[in-house]
Amino acid sequence: MLSASSALNRFFLPKPVIPPPAKRPVVSDSFSLFLSPLDAHFPIEYPCEMNRECRGLRFSFNAYAEIAPESSPKATLPARVTELSLQGCFLETSASLELQRQVLLKIHDAGESFEAEAVILYTRPSGLGLIFREVKPRYRDVLQNWILKALDRQLEAQQIPG
């Protein structure tokens, strides 16, 4: 049986080496992201179809969150995290913020907190898709632990009673 830790290690790779700007795909005139070669086949306008091949493993998650524009860190807006990955998350919220907006994110679950600088990658009527820009090491550890627990839950749910 595959343990959660070994499964996560198969999919968690060190940060990629970011190529020079001339070789990066451009998402818009004012905003560019490092995208894998697979991402070139998935238009940025359709991230709801993101899958593990182009965006990494995503897990169902349920936690309280707060977001604030980076320019106004005290103007927090409530949200709920419903999907989580090592690269980003989806927040259910009634807040409407524009694409590419830089935000500060705080997630609270089971007595632990996670904080990151993030960018709004896409918007939906139900919420916002964020990609993490900067995560401090102590918060990276919290995130990895949450992902491991989510992977454990998913593996347990998939086990066939025998």
pLDDT in tens, 126-153: 999 999 999 999 999 999 999 999 999 8
**136 and 45 Cβ atoms separated by less than 8 Å:** no
Find the mean pLDDT for residues 81-90: 96
Q: Cβ–Cβ contacts within 10 Å for residue 83, how many?
A: 18
Which residues lie below 8 Å from residue 46, measured CB to CB, with a gap of 6+? none
Confidence of residue 96 (pLDDT cuts 50, 70, 90): confident
Query: Which tops the pLDDT comparison, 6 or 56?
Result: 56
C-alpha span between 3 and 14 (Å, rounded): 20
The model scores a pTM over 0.85: no
Looking at residue 43, its pLDDT comes to 41
Instruction: State the chain's mean pLDDT as an integer.
Output: 76
> What is the dihedral angle through the alpha carbons of 103, 139, 150, 132, rounded to the nearest 10 degrees?
30
Distance of CA 130 to the CA centre of its chain: 6
pLDDT in tens, 109-122: 999 999 999 999 99
Q: At 113, which helix (H) or strand (E)?
A: strand 112-124
